[in-house]
Amino acid sequence: MTDIGRQRRAADWLLLGLLAAGSALLLLGVSVGSTGFESVLKAWRDPVALQIVWDIRLPRTLGAWAAGALLGLAGALAQGLFRNPLADPYLLGSASGASLGVALALILFGVSPFASHWLVRLGLTGAAFGGAVGAVLLTLVLAQGVQHTLRLLLAGVIVGVVLGALTSLLMLMSPQVLQSMQAFMLGSTGFVGWSAWILMVGVWLVCMAVAWMLSPVLDGLALGEATAASLGLPLAQMRAALVAVLALATGAAVAQTGLIAFVGLAAPHLVRSVTKTTHRRLVFLSSLMGGVLLMAADVLARGLMAPQELPVGVLTAVLGGGYLLWLMRRSTRSASGTGL
């Protein structure tokens, strides 16, 4: 069997493994509640327990998968677009923009009848999404478009730092929003319902379809911008479309679950550690991997200290950070072993 054949087989086995893990975590997720593990089979004999499973646990578990899938997809796009394995979905300032949007909404709520009326309709979810998309648009303005990847990257870092500082300043000026902001910044899937899940799945389908069509651009960029341009690819237009997909996927996930770290960064790395494949498969597998990672973190957040619940963003940061440290240590050993 050729090397390409082995890689395709590894990708197929990874796909089956992720689907099986997602199914198992779905069953586990609907069985874990405030009292710990309870077999979902018992819920069929208890109408109250069945309603809890259907109205709370099931949409929350599915919502965790959808948010993780969006972040995994966005992480794969960011790393391919910037040709940097350390790129994550928040690189264009979307996280800081979402935090600023939520902080402004919390502070302005109740200040005036006009502000209250519109903020009730908009909601914190809309404020987070608007802030995330607005931050990406500001990054594009500062970078003067998407023609230069390095300029876009630097503009995203600058926007993230400045908006993050503004958010901290607002929290210092209005300490009454600290608790609510802490819940948003630590991430939570506890408020995800059926409507939020449907919205995220719809966004995921759209983003995945566009990313699937544009994945040859990422394959070309992996060879260098000059090579990609020589292949006749319209880099400026396709890069703009990739940035739009990245912003939409990240904004939709952050708006529903808050800031969840490391899922978008770690998911593509986990896929690459199993198989080397084209970006078309990489984006899809990274999306599934992100969904599995966030589902697992959500189950652990509910079950480790039940009835107390841990912030899911803390678990993803600890687990994802630990994995990346292990990966860095393994890479260092490999380099030392080869004499590099």
Domain count, the chain: 1
Q: What is the mean pLDDT of residues 188-192?
A: 83
- Predicted confidence at residue 73, as pLDDT, reads 94
How confident is residue 6, by pLDDT bands cut at 50, 70 and 90? confident
Which of the given ranges, 135-144, 232-241, 282-291, 294-303, has the highest pLDDT on average?
282-291
Average pLDDT, the chain: 82
How confident is residue 274, by pLDDT bands cut at 50, 70 and 90? confident
Q: Confirm whether 339 is domain-assigned.
A: no
Compare 203 and 106 and report the one with higher pLDDT.
203
Output the CA–CA distances (angstroms, integers) from residue 220 to 18, 54, 149, in the order listed: 27, 45, 14
Output the CA–CA distances (angstroms, integers) from residue 321 to 69, 133, 251, 262, 316, in the order listed: 19, 26, 23, 7, 8
Q: How far apart are CA 308 and CA 34, in angstroms?
A: 7
Which residues, including other chains, have CB under 8 Å from residue 183's CB and lie 6 or more apart?
258, 311
Q: Confirm whether 274 is domain-assigned.
A: yes
Q: Confirm whether 337 is domain-assigned.
A: no
Handedness of CA 160, 286, 312, 242 (dihedral sign): positive
Q: What is the CATH number of the domain that holds 134?
A: 1.10.3470.10
Q: Confirm whether 244 is domain-assigned.
A: yes
Q: What share of the chain is helix, strand, coil (3-state, %, to 5)?
A: 80, 0, 20
Domain of 166, in residue numbers? 3-332
Render pLDDT for 47-104 as a digit per residue (tens, 0 to 9): 777 777 778 888 999 999 999 999 999 999 988 888 888 788 888 888 899 889 888 8
Q: Confirm whether 11 is domain-assigned.
A: yes
Determine what percent of the chain is predicted with pLDDT higher than 70.
83
How confident is residue 340, by pLDDT bands cut at 50, 70 and 90? very low
Q: Confirm whether 25 is domain-assigned.
A: yes
Q: Confirm whether 216 is domain-assigned.
A: yes
**226 has a pLDDT exceeding 70:** no
Q: Confirm whether 82 is domain-assigned.
A: yes
How confident is residue 258, by pLDDT bands cut at 50, 70 and 90? confident
